[in-house]
């Protein structure tokens, strides 16, 4: 550690590490220097000039190198002739900063007045009004009257859509450039920029669609005025009407911390409504950023006409409304008689509490469980995954004589599969971490990767094997398909960098892979980590870029992906399908739903699978209830109820206190409306006279998990809710410093210890298991890929994103496109040889794809769960 620098700010002595900027150091003595262009996550640019302070420095005698002293023995301080920028000046020993002197204040007032000459006076209708740094500073010290003639004000476009997600008000823009810099530094999408100059300087976007980036929403948080607003929230509410619920994003495995802003609205009959989704600071997970899917994709969880409101029971061949009692009695009876014939299939958007109770119920009945996912290998992540104390922010260049950290990303289009991990990795790469992108095609990560390596489609595991093998004295026999790659000197260099790294991580995804292939990949990755000693310590290990928020949690709780799903579904006597819609994903599953089978589906919406069920149970969405998710980084985090699922309450006409009255009279009020996923298995258990399953609260279930599941040992909701001070300080009253995003006061979560199941994990001598995958000599092979914006059931409820999601498409390589005479944007009929599924879709070309390869995006209306031979023909 370098020695801290001591200086005085406003007469208070402070210590700060060398290199700290005055503006940050001043925070530590509680002095908020106003800034507009500076943002604590970005290098200073000195544009707005608002942060002016007086700076004095000790006078040093040139001859002696000693400080010159005043008569009273104190060091002589020399002040500069000009005010200086607190945002761009690092602290130095003995420095004296005067932030509150008349001179400094006058300087900042001057700048404020300049900013206001051009700023419109529309605070009463501005979305930022009430949480606007410019407004606050003006209130605090701004001039009461304008010396500027109103007619001479520059009038600019008030409504300039930068695309269909973000609106720009050019009059409000104060040209601080935070948005432009964010898009450059963090998003690496330079799709907005400044054009014109002088007073006409303005933000523009020329991309198609406008502001084409997965990160656009963040600019509205850090915009220090109301110039950038989201179309979702614009004119939606005033900030002071909003209440906040801490939450966790339900869209992917990163586990970004969210703040859901809610208020009660007349249009919903006084019900609570989520008005906007904001990031909540967690420096160990998402820092202060979220992707646009997380920001805009919550609408599926809202109440709406399509949500299931009450249980449905099949009568005379039709699903008909029924009471919970009726439904639960029926289920208890049928599950009870099925016993070991019960098969429970769960999706991994379910919370830990839900999965735990489902597992408990099924196990006690002697039934089987299966996790519904297209990605395998999770068991390994519980053994060689991240450990407590891990943080992407720590990844970087290492110390003086230390090798840099390394991160291998394999079989994964990271920005599409786990966006915020991509964002954090980009920063790690800038700090010097060696990012190795090992993929079958180019991805955005390549831009920041030290090594960008390609393996042939289908050979992900073999490629990692080749890396491991290159480190070994005795190289292994490698499959044919990978021979070329294994001779690539970059592969060897990458393997060496990985092996020698101070810390090393592997993130694996499911690019072009199904369950079996991704499981093999995970094993190969685990082998690499184990042979290079990169497990069992912080910032080392294996991470899965899981498709859903709590997939890691499911694996930690003992759930496993089901490799023989169709068989299990078909053989079962009773099916309990929760948060999964296999029939929609693949029509082939329909065959498993015979008439003699008792099927219960528990979901938010009447899914394709639910339509085949005997009983359908409505559940509360993640914003309506409490629970916890375990992120891909193995951090268990709580989410809180943001809105009440009103129908779950007794009918509104009843007076408050009815519940208590019924307790007094001993009668239990009838269960109404959607219930939490964890509560339902417990209610079934109750009817089966089974005890030990809890449904009173998520906290109680979680406490039980803490008692039952070893890796969760000792964890409680209280622990998950603990916070400590984070740097930078954002989200407090001085919103100009970090923007309007929220401080974390409700919990940073807890990272799990590694599972110690029996013997410690060993490299599996899995060479032989790695298939020598070859593309067919003739015909095309389709590989599934993940797109952040898909047509999946969660996202389609967000109309705002429909334009970005677009129609169903496949990506074709240039050779076959030319051969088939299909051009970019044209239509083609694609026929899956195995399932005989045949659809007409749009074709996009990627000239860099190898011959015979077709990419099929998941959740885009085409069923694909693993590489599949296909036929493509031009259509229309």
Partner 1 sequence: MLERKYLAEKYAQEIQAILEKYPSDRRQSAVMPLLYLAQRDKMYVSREDILEIGEILGITSTEVASLIGFYTLYYDQPKGVYRIQVCVDLPCALRGAEKFLTELCDRLGIQPGETTPDGLIAIEPVMCLAACDKAPMFQVQSGAGLTYHENQTVENALSLIEQLRRDAAGRRVAGHERGRDANG
Partner 2 sequence: MAENEHVLLRHREIPDLDNLVVYREHNGFKAFEKAVTQMQPAEVTEEVKASGLRGRGGAGFPTGLKWSLIDAKSWPHYVVANADESEPGTFKDREIMEGNPYQFLEGVAICAYAIQAHAAYIYLRGEFWQIAVKLDGQIAAMEAAGLLGQNLFGADYSLKIFTHLGAGAYICGEESAMLESLEGKLGMPRLRPPFPPSFGLYGKPTVVNNVETLANVPPIIERGANWYRTNGTEKSPGTKIFSLSGCVNKPGNYELPLGTTFRHLIFECGGGIPEGRSIKAIMAAGASSSLITANDQALDTPMDYESVPSVGGQLGSASVIIIDDSISIPWLINKTVHFFRHESCGKCTPCREGTYWMSHLTERIVKRTAKTEDVALLYDVASQMRGKCLCALGEFSIEAVRSGIDRFRSDFDLTVGASVVSADQEKLTKDE
782 φ/ψ angles, rounded to the nearest 5 degrees: -95, 135
Please count the residues of this chain forming the interface with partner 2, following the rule CB under 8 A: 36
Which token pair is 861?
């209306």
Q: Give the residue at shortest CB distance from ligand FES.
A: 87
Rule CB under 6 A: which of 58-87 touch ligand FES? 85, 87
Residue window 59-88: x/- pattern of binding to partner 2, with contact defined by CB under 8 A = ----------------------xxx----x
189's contact among ligand FES, partner 2, partner 1, none, with CB below 5 to 8 A by partner kind, is partner 1
Which token pair is 469?
């093998």
Rule CB under 8 A: which of 528-567 touch partner 1? none
C-beta of 196: minimal distance to ligand FES in Å?
20
The answer to whether residue 205 forms part of the interface with partner 1 (CB under 8 A) is: yes
Q: Which stretch binds partner 1 (CB under 8 A): 65-73, 189-197, 552-560, 581-589?
A: 189-197
Decide: 856 and 784 in contact? Cβ < 8 Å: yes
In what helix (H) or strand (E) does residue 801 lie, and over which residues does it extend? none
Please count the residues of this chain forming the interface with ligand FES, following the rule CB under 6 A: 12
Decide: 678 and 627 in contact? Cβ < 8 Å: yes
The answer to whether residue 51 forms part of the interface with ligand FES (CB under 6 A) is: yes
727's contact among partner 2, partner 1, ligand FES, none, with CB below 5 to 8 A by partner kind, is none
38's contact among ligand FES, partner 1, partner 2, none, with CB below 5 to 8 A by partner kind, is ligand FES
How crowded is residue 46: how many other Cβ atoms within 10 Å of its Cβ? 13
- Helix (H/G/I), strand (E/B), else coil: 671: coil
Decide: 271 and 303 in contact? Cβ < 8 Å: yes
C-beta of 204: minimal distance to partner 1 in Å?
6
Q: Which stretch binds ligand FES (CB under 6 A): 32-40, 369-377, 401-409, 797-805?
A: 32-40
Q: Are strands 312-315 and 615-618 parallel, antiparallel or unpaired?
A: antiparallel
Which token pair is 498?
């990985």
* Contact residue for partner 1 among 227, 519, 845, 870 (CB under 8 A): 845
The answer to whether residue 45 forms part of the interface with partner 2 (CB under 8 A) is: yes
- Helix (H/G/I), strand (E/B), else coil: 206: coil
C-beta of 44: minimal distance to ligand FES in Å?
6
In what helix (H) or strand (E) does residue 830 lie, and over which residues does it extend? strand 827-832
* Closest to 135 in 3D by CA, of 745, 800, 742, 734: 734
Rule CB under 8 A: which of 638-667 touch partner 1? none
113's contact among partner 1, partner 2, ligand FES, none, with CB below 5 to 8 A by partner kind, is partner 2
Q: Which stretch binds partner 2 (CB under 8 A): 6-14, 20-28, 199-207, 480-488?
A: 199-207
Helix, strand, coil share of the chain (percent; to 5): 30, 20, 50
Nearer to partner 1 by C-beta: 253 or 817? 817
* Contact residue for partner 2 among 69, 125, 139, 201 (CB under 8 A): 201
The answer to whether residue 50 forms part of the interface with ligand FES (CB under 6 A) is: yes
* Closest to 278 in 3D by CA, of 739, 725, 734: 739
Nearer to partner 2 by C-beta: 49 or 100? 49
35's contact among partner 2, ligand FES, partner 1, none, with CB below 5 to 8 A by partner kind, is ligand FES
* Contact residue for partner 1 among 207, 488, 531, 716 (CB under 8 A): 207
The answer to whether residue 25 forms part of the interface with ligand FES (CB under 6 A) is: no
The CA distances from residue 43 to 37, 183, 201, 609, 625, in Å, are 10, 14, 21, 51, 40
* Contact residue for partner 2 among 67, 76, 77, 110 (CB under 8 A): 110
Q: Which stretch binds partner 1 (CB under 8 A): 186-194, 396-404, 646-654, 691-699?
A: 186-194
Please state the length of the chain: 876
How crowded is residue 625: how many other Cβ atoms within 10 Å of its Cβ? 27
DSSP assignment of 296-344:
HTTGGGS--TTB--S-EEEETTEEEE--HHHHHHHHHHHHHHHGGGEEE
The answer to whether residue 557 forms part of the interface with partner 2 (CB under 8 A) is: no
- CA angle 325/328/334 to nearest 5° reads 140
190's contact among ligand FES, partner 2, partner 1, none, with CB below 5 to 8 A by partner kind, is partner 1
Decide: 572 and 343 in contact? Cβ < 8 Å: yes
* Closest to 830 in 3D by CA, of 791, 857, 795: 857
Q: How far is CA 524 from the centre of its chain?
A: 26
60 forms beta bridges with 67
338 φ/ψ angles, rounded to the nearest 5 degrees: -70, -40
- Helix (H/G/I), strand (E/B), else coil: 603: strand
Please count the residues of this chain forming the interface with partner 1, following the rule CB under 8 A: 19
The answer to whether residue 225 forms part of the interface with ligand FES (CB under 6 A) is: no
192's contact among partner 1, partner 2, ligand FES, none, with CB below 5 to 8 A by partner kind, is partner 1
Q: Which stretch binds partner 1 (CB under 8 A): 195-203, 253-261, 329-337, 453-461?
A: 195-203
The owner of tokens 């802003």 is 261
Rule CB under 8 A: which of 572-601 touch partner 2? none
445 by Cβ neighbours in 10 Å (0-12 / 13-18 / 19+) ranks as buried
Q: Which stretch binds partner 2 (CB under 8 A): 125-133, 171-179, 286-294, 322-330?
A: 171-179
The answer to whether residue 770 forms part of the interface with partner 2 (CB under 8 A) is: no
Nearer to partner 1 by C-beta: 76 or 844? 844
* Contact residue for partner 1 among 42, 204, 721, 839 (CB under 8 A): 204
| Strands (E) located in 368-425 | 368-372, 406-410
The answer to whether residue 147 forms part of the interface with partner 2 (CB under 8 A) is: yes
Q: Which stretch binds partner 2 (CB under 8 A): 55-63, 191-199, 233-241, 765-773?
A: 191-199
* Contact residue for partner 1 among 61, 80, 106, 206 (CB under 8 A): 206
* Contact residue for ligand FES among 28, 49, 105, 844 (CB under 6 A): 49
What is the C-alpha to C-alpha distance for residues 10 and 13, in angstroms, rounded to an integer? 8
C-beta of 189: minimal distance to partner 1 in Å?
8
The answer to whether residue 229 forms part of the interface with partner 2 (CB under 8 A) is: no
The answer to whether residue 195 forms part of the interface with partner 1 (CB under 8 A) is: yes
How crowded is residue 719: how many other Cβ atoms within 10 Å of its Cβ? 15
Nearer to partner 2 by C-beta: 50 or 171? 50
The answer to whether residue 194 forms part of the interface with partner 1 (CB under 8 A) is: yes
Nearer to partner 1 by C-beta: 191 or 520? 191
What is the C-alpha to C-alpha distance for residues 159 and 112, in angstroms, rounded to an integer? 24
147's contact among partner 1, partner 2, ligand FES, none, with CB below 5 to 8 A by partner kind, is partner 2
DSSP assignment of 25-86:
HHHHTT-----SS--TTS-----S-TTEEEEEEE-B-TTT-PBPB-TTSSBPEEE-SS-EET
Decide: 126 and 99 in contact? Cβ < 8 Å: no
* Contact residue for ligand FES among 31, 38, 559, 622 (CB under 6 A): 38
673 by Cβ neighbours in 10 Å (0-12 / 13-18 / 19+) ranks as buried
| Strands (E) located in 115-266 | 160-161, 166-168, 193-195, 202-204, 228-230, 243-248, 257-264
The answer to whether residue 37 forms part of the interface with ligand FES (CB under 6 A) is: yes
845's contact among partner 2, partner 1, ligand FES, none, with CB below 5 to 8 A by partner kind, is partner 1
358's contact among partner 2, ligand FES, partner 1, none, with CB below 5 to 8 A by partner kind, is none
The answer to whether residue 174 forms part of the interface with partner 2 (CB under 8 A) is: yes
What is the C-alpha to C-alpha distance for residues 492 and 276, in angstroms, rounded to an integer? 48
Interface residue list for ligand FES (CB under 6 A): 35-38, 46-51, 85, 87
- In the complex, the residues that contact partner 1 under the rule CB under 8 A are 189-197, 202, 204-208, 824, 844-845, 847
């Amino acid at each position: 550690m370098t020695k801290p620098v001591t200086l005085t700010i406003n007469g208070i002595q402070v210590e700060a590490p060398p290199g700290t900027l005055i503006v940050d150091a001043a925070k530590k003595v509680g002095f908020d220097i106003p800034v507009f262009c500076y943002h604590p996550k970005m290098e200073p640019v000195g544009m707005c000039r608002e942060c002016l302070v007086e700076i004095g420095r000790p006078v040093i005698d040139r001859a002696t190198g000693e400080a010159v002293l005043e008569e009273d023995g104190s060091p002589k301080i020399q002040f500069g002739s000009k005010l200086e920028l607190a945002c761009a000046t690092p602290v130095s020993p003995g420095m004296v900063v005067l932030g509150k002197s008349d001179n400094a204040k006058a300087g900042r007032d001057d700048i404020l007045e300049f900013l206001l000459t051009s700023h419109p006076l529309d605070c009463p209708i501005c979305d930022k009004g009430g949480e606007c740094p410019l407004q606050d500073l003006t209130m605090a010290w701004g001039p009461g009257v304008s010396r500027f003639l109103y007619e001479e004000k520059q009038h600019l476009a008030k409504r300039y859509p930068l695309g269909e997600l973000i609106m720009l008000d050019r009059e409000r823009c104060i040209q601080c450039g935070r948005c432009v810099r964010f898009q450059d530094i963090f998003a690496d999408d330079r799709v907005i920029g400044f054009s014109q100059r002088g007073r006409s300087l303005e933000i523009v976007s020329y991309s198609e669609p406008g502001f084409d980036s997965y990160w656009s929403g963040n600019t509205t948080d850090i915009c220090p005025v109301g110039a950038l607003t989201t179309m979702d929230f614009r004119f939606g509410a005033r900030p002071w009407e909003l209440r906040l619920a801490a939450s966790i994003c339900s869209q992917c495995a990163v586990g970004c911390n969210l703040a859901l802003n809610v208020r009660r609205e007349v249009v919903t009959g006084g019900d609570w409504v989520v008005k906007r989704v904001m990031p909540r600071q967690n420096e160990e997970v998402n820092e202060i950023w979220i992707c646009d899917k997380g920001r805009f994709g919550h609408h599926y969880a809202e109440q709406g006409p399509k949500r299931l409101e009450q249980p449905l029971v099949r009568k005379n061949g039709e699903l008909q409304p029924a009471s919970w009692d009726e439904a639960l009695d029926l289920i208890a009876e049928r599950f009870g008689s099925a016993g070991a014939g019960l098969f429970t299939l769960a999706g991994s958007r379910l919370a830990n509490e839900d999965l735990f109770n489902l597992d408990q119920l099924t196990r006690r009945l002697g039934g089987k469980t299966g996790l519904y996912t297209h990605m395998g290998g999770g068991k390994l992540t519980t053994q060689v995954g991240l450990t407590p104390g891990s943080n992407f922010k720590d990844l970087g260049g290492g110390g003086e004589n230390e090798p840099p950290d390394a991160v291998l990303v394999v079989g994964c289009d990271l920005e599409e599969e786990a966006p915020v991990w991509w964002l954090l990795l980009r920063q790690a790469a800038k700090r010097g971490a060696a990012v190795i992108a090992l993929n079958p095609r180019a991805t955005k990560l390549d831009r920041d990767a030290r090594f960008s390596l390609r393996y042939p489609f289908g050979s992900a595991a073999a490629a990692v094997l080749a890396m491991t093998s290159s480190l070994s004295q005795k190289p292994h026999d490698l499959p044919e398909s990978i021979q070329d790659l294994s001779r690539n000197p970059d592969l060897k260099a990458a393997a060496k960098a990985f092996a020698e790294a101070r810390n090393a991580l592997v993130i694996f995804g499911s690019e072009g892979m199904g369950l079996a292939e991704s499981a093999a990949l995970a094993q190969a990755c685990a082998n690499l980590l184990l042979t290079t000693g990169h497990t069992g310590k912080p910032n080392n290990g294996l991470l899965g870029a899981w498709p859903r928020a709590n997939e890691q949690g499911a694996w930690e709780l003992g759930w496993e992906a089901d490799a023989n799903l169709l068989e299990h579904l078909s053989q079962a006597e009773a099916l309990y399908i929760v948060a999964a819609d296999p029939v929609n994903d693949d029509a082939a599953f329909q065959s498993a739903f015979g008439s003699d089978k008792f099927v219960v589906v528990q979901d938010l919406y009447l899914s394709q699978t639910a339509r085949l069920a005997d009983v359908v149970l409505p559940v509360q969405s993640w914003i309506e209830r409490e629970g916890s998710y375990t992120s891909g980084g193995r951090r268990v985090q709580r989410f809180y109820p943001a809105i009440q699922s009103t129908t779950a309450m007794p009918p509104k006409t009843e007076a408050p206190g009815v519940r208590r009255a019924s307790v007094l009279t001993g009668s239990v009020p009838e269960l109404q409306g959607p219930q939490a996923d964890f509560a339902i298995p417990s209610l079934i258990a109750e009817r089966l006279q089974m005890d030990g399953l809890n449904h009173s609260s998520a906290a109680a279930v979680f406490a039980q998990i803490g008692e039952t599941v070893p890796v969760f040992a000792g964890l409680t909701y209280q622990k998950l809710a603990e916070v400590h001070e984070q740097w930078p300080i954002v989200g407090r009253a001085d919103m100009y410093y970090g923007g309007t995003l929220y401080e974390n006061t409700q919990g940073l979560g807890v990272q799990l210890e590694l599972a110690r199941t029996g013997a410690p994990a060993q490299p599996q001598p899995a060479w032989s298991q790695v298939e020598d995958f070859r593309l067919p000599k003739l015909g095309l092979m389709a590989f599934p890929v993940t797109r952040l914006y898909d047509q999946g059931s969660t996202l389609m409820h967000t109309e705002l994103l429909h334009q970005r999601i677009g129609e169903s498409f496949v990506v074709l390589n240039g050779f076959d496109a030319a051969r088939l005479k299909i051009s970019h944007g044209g239509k083609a009929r694609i026929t899956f040889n195995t399932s005989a599924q045949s659809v007409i879709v749009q074709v996009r070309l990627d000239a860099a794809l190898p011959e015979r390869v077709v990419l099929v995006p998941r959740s885009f209306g085409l069923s694909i769960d693993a590489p599949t031979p296909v036929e493509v023909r031009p259509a229309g």
